[in-house]
Amino acid sequence: MKKQIILYTILFLAYHQMEAITINDSSATALNQVMLYGDSSFVEHSNHIYKEGDMFKILEQSEHEHPDADQKQKFKWYKVETPDQQVGWIFGDGLAIYVEQQELAPALRPYHRKRMQLGNGFDNAVTWIAAIHGRDNFHAQDYMNPLYNEYYLVVTNPRGRSVLMKCSGESARGETTIKNVKSLDITGDGHPEFIVQRGTKNIGSHIIERELEIYSFKAGTLVSIFQESLGLSYETGVPSPALYKHVEIEKQSIRISYLNYMTCDLYSQKLDTDARYPRQERCMEYVTSTYYWDKRTKSFKNPYGRTHISPQGGTWASGAVIKESPKKEGRTLAHIQKGAALTLIKHYENYVVEGGKKKIENWFFVQTEDGKKGYILSQSVGFVDLEHADILNQYYLNPPISKSDWKGDGSAFITFK
Overall average pLDDT of the 176-183 stretch: 94
Of 142, 208, 200, 156, which is closest to residue 176 (Cα–Cα)?
Answer: 200
pLDDT tens-digit series, residues 22-81: 899 999 999 999 999 998 888 887 889 999 999 999 999 999 888 887 778 899 999 999
88 pLDDT exceeds 70? Answer: yes
Question: How many angstroms separate the CA atoms of 23 and 300, rounded?
Answer: 34
pLDDT of residue 362: 95
State the Cα–Cα distance between residues 124 and 116, nearest whole angstrom: 6
Give the per-residue pLDDT at 270: 65
* DSSP symbol at 64: S
The band of 13, judged by pLDDT with boundaries at 50, 70 and 90, is very low
Non-local (6+) Cβ contacts of 34 within 8 A are 49, 50, 54, 90, 91, 94, 95
Please list, residue by residue across 47-67, b when 16 or more beta carbons sit within 10 angstroms of its beta carbon and e when fewer do.
eeebeebbbbebeebbeebbe
| DSSP letter (8 states) at residue 265 | G
Question: What are phi and psi for residue 334, nearest 5 degrees?
Answer: -165, 150
Domains and CATH numbers, the chain: 12-172 (2.30.30.40), 312-385 (2.30.30.40)
Predicted model pTM: 0.86
| Per-position DSSP letters for 298-336, written without gaps between them | TEEE-TT--EEE--EEEESSTTEEEESSSSTTSPEEEEE
Instruction: Tell me what pLDDT residue 18 has.
Output: 43
Region of 183 please: left (phi>0), alpha (psi -120 to 50) or beta: beta
Helices (H), 95-172: none
Range with the poorest average pLDDT among 1-15, 171-185, 313-327: 1-15
| 410: confidence class by pLDDT, cuts 50, 70, 90 | low
**C-beta of residue 310 within 8 angstroms of C-beta of residue 288:** no
User: Mind listing the pLDDT tens digit for each residue in 197-209?
Assistant: 999 988 877 778 8
